[in-house]
Structure 1
Amino acid sequence: MELSHVRPPHCLRPAGRLLFAWLLLVIAAPAIAEDPSPNTEAKSVKVDGVFQSTRQSEVAAANEHLTELKIERVLPHGTEVKQGQAVIWFETEPLDKSLKKAEHERRLAELALEADEFDHTQFLEQLKLDKQAAERKRDAAQQAYDNYQKVDREQQIEQAKFSLKNAEFSLESAKEEYEQLTQMYEEDDLTEQSEEIVLRRAKRAVEAAEFSLQRTSIQTDRTIKQTIPRNDADQEETLARALMEFKKSNQDLDNARRKRELEIKRKRTELEEQSEKVEEMRAERKAVVLKADMDGIFLHGALTRGVLPAKPVNLKEGTSASPNQVLATIVGPGKIQVRIDLPEQHLAVARQAKTCQVVPKGLPDTTLTGKVQSVAEVPFLPGKFDCLVSLQGQTPDHINPTMGCEVTFPGTEEESAEEKDADNQDGGDPKDDSSTSEESPSEESNDDPSNDRDDS
C-alpha cells in the first residue's frame, strides 16, 4: 500500500485530516516493515571455471643426449591408461646411430689416453735424467770455482812470481859466466879469434837473459794486477750462471711435469665424462618408450591452469619432439577441484564467500556445492587472481578434468549496497524516480492553500 496515492477528503477539517493521516500510517506500517530495503538486497556473482584433477602427471622425454626424437606411435587423446602402460613410442634408428657414434668416440679417447700415459711415463724417466745432468753441470761449475779459489788462483800467482825469479836467475847466471870467461881469457893464451867467439856468445846470452827478465817482469805484473782479478770475476760469474741455469732447468722440468700431469688428468676426466655420457645415452635408449606413471586419462599437450591448449595438439607418427618437451598430460581420476581465473572486481565476494554453486557447462541441470579453498593475494595476470574451489560430496562420474563450469558466489550486503550506490550515481533506478515523482504531487496537494480555503 502506497501512502502517496491516498488523499484525504477535502471536506475534513484540519484536525480530521491529521487523524486520517495517523490512521493511514498505522495501517501501512506492517507493509513498510516487510518491504526489503533496496540498498541491502544481495546480488550473486558468476564466473567461469574449469574442473581440474588434484593429481596430474606430465609426459615428456627427459633426454639430454639423444635429442633426435620422432614419434613412431602415440595413444589417442582421451585414452584411459594404467600406471606403467606405454603411451608414446619413438623411432629408434636415429638414436642408435648417435649411440654408436658416441661409443666409437669413447674408444678413440681411451686409445689416446693410453698413448698419452705411456708418453708421460717416458717423460718422467727422461725428467730424472735431465735433472741429474743439471746437477752434474752445477756440481762441475761449483768444483771449478772451488779449485780456482783454493788452488788455481794461488798457483797462477806463484807461477808468475817463479817465472820472474827464474828469469832473474838466468840473467844472473849469464852475467857470472860472461865475467868468468872474460877473466879466464885474459889470463889464458888462447887465440884472439876463439876468445872473441866465446865472449860474443856469452854476451848474447846475457842480453837474452836481460830481455827475458824484462818480459817476465811485465807478464808477472799483468798476471797479478789484471789477469788474476779478471779470472776472479769470471769464476764468480760462471758459478752464478751455473746455479741460475740449474734453478731454471729444475723449474722448467717441474713445470713441464705439472703440465703433463694436468693434461693427463684433463684427458682422464674427459674420458670419464664420455663414459658417463655413453651410459646415459644407453639409459635414454632404453627409455625410448614413454610410460604412464599413474592411472588416469591421457591428454595430448600440456595443461595450463587445468585448461587444454587453445590450439589442438596433434601428436602423430613422424612428429618431432624436443627434450623435456611436455608432449602429453595424464590427469588422475581422483578428487576434482575447480580452478578459477578470478577477476579483480570479484575478489571481495570470493574471499567472503564460504560456499558457492558449481554448474558444469555440459550438464546445466547439475548443481554441485563448492567450498572456497584459497584466493591468491597477488595476480598471476593483470586483473586476474588464482582461486581454488573444492567440491563437496561425491563428484559425478561423467564430470572429467578440463571440462568447463560456471561458479556462482553468493553476494554480500556491502557489495550490493556498493553496486546500488554506483547505479544511483550513474542515473538512479527508474522505479525510484517514479516513486519520487508520485510523492511530490501528494505533498504539494497537502500543502496547497487552495485546499485549505475550500475546507474553510
Structure 2
Amino acid sequence: MRSTCCLVLVALLALIVSPATADRPPLEVVPKAATDEAQPASAPAAEPETKPAPETFTVEPKRLKIEIDLKGVFEAARMTPVSLEPKVWSALVVERAAPPGTVVKKGDQLLWLRMRDIDQQLADTEASSALTALALKQAKESLRFAEAASPDAVTWAQRSKRIADEQYQDFLDLVIPYEDRYYVLDGRGLALRLEAAEEEVKQLRQMYKADELVDDTEAIVLKRNEYFLDRTRIDSKVSDMRHTRRKDRDFLRRRETEAKNHKDAEIAWDKAQMLLPMQMEEKRLKIKKMLYDQAKADRKLVELKADREMMVVRAPADGIVYYGKCLRGAWPTAGQMDGKLRRGGRIGSLEVFMTLVQPEGMLIRAQAGESDLHNLKVDQAAKITPTGYPTQKLQGKVTDVIILPPGAGQFTVKIAIDGDVGPVTPGMTCGLKLVAYDKADALLAPAKAVFHEDDDEDLRYVYVQRGEETVKQSVTVGRSKGDDVEIVEGLAAGDVILLDKPDEPK
C-alpha cells in the first residue's frame, strides 16, 4: 500500500512540471508490479533511429600540376677574377681604379697602384746587390792571399818560437847566474871612483899647501876636482840606490818579462798551428754564405722587378668591371672593395678585388630546400620573372642540381636561359617557377579519405560505396598537392568514396 502511494505522487509531480500539450496523451500511472510486467504493452512504440548519410566524394579526372617557386640570381657563365700575387712586395696602395660597370678590352689598365715606394726599394736593392758583389770579390781575393801566405805564416810562427826559446835560454844561462856578480862589481867600481876622487883632491890640497903659492890655474884645478868629488859622492849614493832597486825590483821584472815573452811565443806557435787552418775554413764558409746571400739578393731583385711590372694591372680579358668576387651569383665583397679601391686603400695578396664579367650566355643560380629535391631534375622547364623587369617573361631549363649543400638545408640549382635576356645584368634577382609534375587526367581524392594500415603505412586503402554496400579498396597513391592526393591504381573515374571510416565496413 505504501509503495502504491509513492508511485501516485511521482506521477502527479511529473504532470505539474511538464508543459501541457494537446498531442501528448495523458500519463498513465501503473503499479510497480504491473509496470514491470506490462510496460511494453502500455508504452508508445519507439520510432526507428535514422543515421545521417556518410559524406562521400566522387572521383573524377582532373589536372594535377605541381610547381616549385624559387628565388634565383642571374650569373654570368664566363667571369674572370682579377687578383695580384706579388712575390716580395706587399704594400699594394691604390691610386685609382676603373669604376664598376666600365666596359674594358683585354689589355686595358684596370688599376693604378702607388709606385714610389717600390721604385725606391728597387734602387736600394740594386745598390745593395752591387756592394754585395764587390764584397764577395774582396773576400775571394782575401782567401786567395791567405791561402798563399798560410804556409809562410806557419813557418814564421815556428821560427819566432825557436828564437824566443833561444833568447830565454840565454837569459837563464848568461844573465841570471852573473847578475849578482855584476851588482858586486858595480858597487866596487863606484867605491873606487869615489876613493880616487877623494884621494886626488887630498893630494892637490897637500901639494898646493906645501908650495905656499897657488896661482889662478891651480886654484881652478882644485875647485874643479872638488866639484867632481862632490858630484862623485852624489853619483855614488844614487848609483848605490839604483843598484839596490835594480837588484830588488828591475831584475825581478826582467825575469817576469822574459818568462812572459817566452810564454807568448809558445802560445803564438800553438795558435798558429790550430787557428790558421780554422781561419782559412772560416774564410771559405763566409764566401759560401756571401754567394748564397748574393743569389738570394739577385732573386729578390728579379722578383721585385716582376712585382713592379705586375703592379701595372691590365685586363686579362674583355668584359664589364665588377668590384669584388662572385660567390654563388652574389657579390658579397663589392661594398668592401668599393672602399679599398679608392685612393689610399690597400688590397691584399690573392684578394679578388675585381671580376671581369662577360654577360653573354648568362645562367641562373637558385637555392632549393631539401624538401624540394625530389621535385627537381635536369632538363626541367622553368619560367623566369626578373625582379627588376616583372613584365619580361623568360624561359629556361634546369642544367644541374648540386646535391652537396653550400649551406644548412640549401642546395644549388643551375638554370640555363633560352633567348635574349634584354636589360638584365649579372647580379640581378628573379623569381622561378619550375613544373615538377603535370597530368591532365589525374584521379584525385581528398587526402583524408585515404587511410593506411596500422602495421604498414605504405599499404593505403579507401572505402568505396557500391549501392547499399561499403567496400574496403586497396589503392596506390602518387603525387599530392594541398589536401588532394593522386590515386594511381585501385579506383576509376566515377567511383564514390567515403570521406570517413564507416563503423562496420563490409
Task: Report the Cα distance in structure 1 between the residues aligned to 2:90 and 2:296, rounded to whole angstroms.
Answer: 18
Partner of 1:389: 415
More helix, by proportion: 1
- For residues 280-299 of structure 1, what are the structure 2 equivalents within 5 Å? 280-299=303-322
Cα gap change, 1:347 to 1:263, in 2 (>3 Å): farther
Partners in 2 of 1:440 and 1:346 — Cα distance? 29
2:404 and 2:434 mapped to 1: Cα distance? Answer: 20
Which of 400, 404, 409 pairs up with 2:434? 409
Aligned mate of 2:291, from 260, 265, 268: 268
Deviates more, 1:254-263 or 1:272-281: 254-263
Corresponding residue number in structure 1 for 2:342 = 316
Q: How far apart in 2 are the matches of 1:306 and 1:358?
A: 16
Name which of 66, 82, 103 aligns with 1:59.
82
Partner SS, residue 94 of structure 2: strand
Answer whether contact 2:97 2:112 (CA < 8 A) is retained.
yes
Report the CA distance between 1:328 and its aligned residue. 1.2
Which amino acid counterpart does residue 396 of structure 1 have in structure 2? Answer: V
Question: SS of the counterpart of 1:398?
Answer: coil
1:42-441 correspondence runs (5 A): 42-126=65-149, 260-309=283-332, 312=335, 313-314=337-338, 315-351=341-377, 354-392=380-418, 394-412=419-437
Checking the alignment, whether the CA contact within 8 Å between 1:353 and 1:409 is kept in structure 2 is no
Structure 2: which 5+ runs fail to align?
A: 1-55, 160-269, 452-480, 486-496
Q: In structure 1, what is the Cα distance between the partners aligned to 2:72 and 2:142? A: 72
Query: Which amino acid in 1 is paired with 2:370?
Result: E
Displacement after TM superposition at 1:429 (Å): 7.3
Question: What is the aligned counterpart of 1:34 among 61, 72, 83?
Answer: 61
Alpha-carbon displacement from aligned partner over 1:246-293 (angstroms, at most 9, x marks no partner): 9xx79x887766654444233212212211211222232233321111
Shift of 1:297: 0.6
Q: Distance in 2 between matches of 1:256 and 1:284?
A: 41
User: Aligned partners of 1:69, 1:356: CA distance in 2, in Å?
Assistant: 45
RMSD between aligned residues: 4.2
Q: Which amino acid aligns with 1:405?
A: C
Contact 1:341-1:384 at 8 Å conserved across structures = yes
% identical equivalent positions: 22
1:383-403 C-alpha deviation (Å, 9 max, x unpaired): 2223322223x3324222112
CA distance in 2, matches of 1:370, 1:407: 10
Quote how far apart the aligned CAs of 1:406 are. Answer: 2.0
CA distance in 2, matches of 1:341, 1:131: 85
CA distance in 2: counterparts of 1:311 and 1:61, whole angstroms = 17
Q: CA deviation at 1:43?
A: 2.1
Deviations 1:317-370 (A, max 9, x none): 222222332221111133211222332222222236633222222122223222
Secondary structure at the aligned position of 1:379 is classed as strand
CA distance in 2 between partners of 1:386 and 1:128 (Å): 81
* Pair member with larger Rg: 2
Determine if contact 1:376/1:385 at 8 Å carries over to the other structure. Answer: yes
Asked if the contact 1:64/1:323 (under 8 Å) is kept, the reply is no
Seen in structure 2, the aligned counterparts of structure 1 residues 266 and 385 have a Cα distance that, compared at 3 Å, is farther
CA contact (8 A) 1:51 1:401 kept: yes
Cα separation, 1, equivalents of 2:483 and 2:374: 28
Q: Distance in 1 between matches of 2:316 and 2:283?
A: 50
Q: Which is worse superposed, 382-391 or 328-337?
A: 382-391
Q: In 2, distance between residues paired with 1:288 and 1:368? A: 42
Note if contact 2:323-2:334 (Cα within 8 Å) is conserved in structure 1.
Answer: no
| Unmatched tracts of structure 1, length 5 or more | 1-24, 138-245, 433-437, 445-456
Measured at CA, do residues 253 and 421 of structure 1 come closer, stay the same or move farther in structure 2, by a change above 3 Å? farther
Decide whether the 8 Å contact of 2:387 with 2:429 is kept in 1: yes
- Tell me the TM-score normalised to structure 2 length: 0.49
- The number of aligned residues is 290
> 1:410, 1:403 → 2: CA distance?
23
Counterpart of 2:71, as a letter, is D
- 1:401 is paired with a residue whose SS is coil
| 1:302 positional shift | 1.9
Q: Name the amino acid aligned to 2:289.
A: R
Distance 1:326 1:440 in 2: 62
Map 1:8-27; keep pairs closer than 5 Å.
none
In 1, Cα distance between the equivalents of 2:102 and 2:348?
Answer: 23
Give 1:127 shift: 5.2
Call closer, same or farther: CA 1:109–1:45 in 2, change over 3 Å. Answer: same
Which secondary structure state, in structure 2, belongs to the residue aligned with residue 317 of structure 1?
coil
Q: Which amino acid aligns with 2:292?
A: T
* CA spacing shift, 1:260–1:306, aligned 2, 3 Å: farther
Q: Look up the SS of the partner of 1:411 in the other structure.
A: strand
From the superposition, tell whether residues 439 and 372 of structure 1 become closer, same or farther in structure 2 (CA, over 3 Å): closer
SS of structure 1 residue aligned to 2:376: helix
Give the counterpart letter for 2:351 in structure 1: Q
Deviation at residue 298 of structure 1 after TM alignment: 0.4
**More contact order relative to length (CA 8 Å, sep ≥ 6):** 1
Q: 1:62: Cα distance to partner? A: 2.6
Could you say what secondary structure the match of 1:100 adopts? Answer: helix
Q: Which amino acid aligns with 1:382?
A: A
**Residue pair 1:353, 1:410 contacting (<8 A) in 2 also:** no
Q: TM-score, normalised by structure 1?
A: 0.54
Deviation at 1:115, TM superposition (A): 2.3
Q: Please give the alpha-carbon distance, in whole angstroms, between the structure 2 residues aligned to 1:114 and 1:306.
A: 60
